[in-house]
Amino acid sequence: MVDVAIIGCGVIGAATAYQLAGRGVSVLMLESENDVSMGTTKANSAILHAGYDPRPGTQMARLNVRGSAMAKEICQKLDVPYRQIGSLVLAFSEDEMDHVRKLCRQGEENGVPGVKVLSKEEVLAMEPNLSKEVCGALYAPSAAIVSPWEYALAMAENAVLNGAEIRLETRVTGLEKTENGWLIHTDKGDEKARFVVNAAGVDAGTVHEMAAEPTFETTPCRGEYYLLDKCEGSRVEHVIFQCPTKAGKGILVAPTVHGNLIVGPNAQDIPDGGDTANTAEGLAYVAQMARRSVPEVDLRASIRNFAGIRANTDRPDFIIEWAADGLLDLAGMKSPGLSAAAAVGEEAARLLQEAGLGLRKEENRIETRKKFRFKEMDAEGKAELIKQDPAYGRVICRCETITEGEIRAACHTPIPPRSVDGVKRRTGAGMGRCQGGFCGPRVMEILTRELGYDPLKVPQDQAGGLILTGCTKQGGVRK
């Protein structure tokens, strides 16, 4: 029996495991997909919000501000790409300026540092490529951009290094209360735990109802995006928002930590939480609204369109509460869920400790991580690294300058990749202009060689999405 089983390993589950592992308790992460961060964490705006938008007094408000501050420190410790570039919320009318002033007051009440209202002239001086129709904006200097899947993966890996276990491709099918805790039924067998944390994202309601009466309803909300080539990466220098509505924070235009430009999302309620299809109508709306903020943004430079799912619920706040004795819900983690994740994990650890989980900090707890990113090193550093391992001198992904050494290293991390896109999330190979068209076969070759995988069973991303198919011999001829 483990002390804590965490169902779901997106950024919320990973952050919870990060807070618990290496503190004198046993932790088990159960993830239905074949990798960490495969749901909302993989497909979102990659923004760490400052915290002016949530209503004061809510868990969202408190945990957003705390979580964003914690993320800065965690990213530094675990070597996760992070840039604090600040954000602007644009107003295009006097009514919207009134809303901007309201957001500023909320930000001050929520404890957001440095938030202030800017005039039209101040905004355009900061961002000359914005629409000249802008009337002013809210400036929040503490907003940042991050690599969301690397953030989640780094915390999950750190948890494993500190003694946690992870079971991928393991779907929870039922929960049964026992005298000492919980019996967790999965499609790979049963597990026992004193406490269970429900961090299952859009499936959190399903997990909740395995053990308790319904208390919330989840409505998956799809958001569609453009990812633009690096030639558009400096179009703006800050995260550019429009005034928020009931549907969300509106269409944004923002740099990414990898040097691209991201544009989106729209917001469409859908019945199927797994439906990440793009639509012509959705992308047309994103394009139209993005040009309202940045008229000259070149959407012809798009190298990829994608969609993500938000776990909206019928409650206006995060759901962080006991569903049953020993079963903790971390549900409804819509925006600003990524921003708040570290603080949500901290809050979960506090609630578990209050319920009887004995936490203590172990002396040998691993606190840091270092990655070699070849393209970011100076000439002397590159030469020394190649001297130590010649594989770092062989570039596999030409678009992103990712080397064989980096891919090999990724294959031997605490949570090794199980797919070609799993390598992409760990190294960046395949994220560039050709989207893996050139390097994909070489990545698969290295992945299968290093980990002994059968090439016919390696997916592009999710389990079952195979790249190669087998052939049979008939009459001495391969068919």
Which positions are annotated as active-site residues?
49
Nearest to 103 by CA among 50, 51, 47, 52: 52
Name residues whose C-beta falls within 8 Å of residue 231's C-beta, 6 or more positions apart in sequence.
Answer: 298, 301
What is the chain's alpha carbon radius of gyration, rounded to the nearest angstrom? 23
Q: Which amino acid is at 97?
A: M
Asked whether the beta carbons of 7 and 334 are under 8 A apart, the reply is: no
Rounded Cα–Cα distance for residues 19 and 288 (Å): 42
- Rounded alpha-carbon distances, angstroms, from residue 283 to 69, 264, 292: 33, 8, 14
String of DSSP letters for 206-225: HHHTTTS-----EEEEEEEE
User: Among all chains, which residue has been given the structure tokens 């983690």?
Assistant: 333
Estimate to the nearest angstrom the gap between the alpha carbon of 439 and the chain centroid: 24
Element (H, E) at 89: strand 87-91
**φ/ψ of residue 151, rounded to 5:** -60, -50
Name residues whose C-beta falls within 8 Å of residue 72's C-beta, 6 or more positions apart in sequence.
Answer: 48, 82, 84, 144
* C-alpha distance across the termini of the chain, in Å: 50
User: Measured on CA atoms in the order 408, 411, 414, 417, is the torsion positive or negative?
Assistant: positive
Rounded Cα–Cα distance for residues 27 and 360 (Å): 14
